[in-house]
Amino acid sequence: MKHQKSRVMKQLIFFVALLSLFACKDQVDDLKSTDIQFAELKEQNMKIIPANPTINDEIKLLVFDDCTYNQLSGVSRKGNTIDIQKQFNGMMKWPCIMRNDTILIGKLPRGSYNVNYTLIDIAQKAPQNISRSFTFQLVVAK
C-alpha cells in the first residue's frame, strides 16, 4: 500500500511538472508583438498611440523629449513598410529645447508593418548625415 501511494505521488508530480511545462510554453506563445514593440520604442523614448491600434484608429508615434529643431520631413508607406524621416541642420547650432512631438502615421489596413525612423543632419559639412536610425514592428489589428 505504501509503495502504491509513492508510485501515485510520483505520477502526480510528473503530471504537474508536465502540465507546468505546457503552461509556460503557452505564455511564451501568447507574447504579443505589441509587447515587443513597446519595449523597443521605450528604449528609443517613443510610444505608439493607441497602444493596440486597429484598422479604425488614427495611429500616431509620440516622440518624448525631442529637440524642437528636429523637423518632420516625411511619412510614407509602401506596402508594409513605413518610413518616418526627420531632419535638422547641425550647422545652425540651435539650442535643443525639449518637447514631445506627435507624428501622424494615419489609418492602416490590418497587418504587420516595419517602421523605419530616421533622423538626418542636413548640414553640408556633417561628418555623418544619419544621426539616428532604427526599425520597429507595428501591428494593426482588425
Nearest residue to 85 (alpha-carbon basis) of 48, 62, 117? 117
Q: Please state whether the predicted TM-score (pTM) of the whole model is above 0.75.
A: no
- The string of pLDDT tens digits covering residues 81-133 is 999 999 999 889 899 999 999 999 999 999 999 999 999 999 987 777 888 99
Burial class (CB in 10 A: 0-12, 13-18, 19+), 40: middle
Where are the chain's structural domains?
1-30, 32-140
- The string of pLDDT tens digits covering residues 33-75 is 456 566 778 889 999 999 999 999 999 999 999 999 999 999 9
Instruction: Please tell me the predicted confidence (pLDDT) of residue 2.
Output: 53
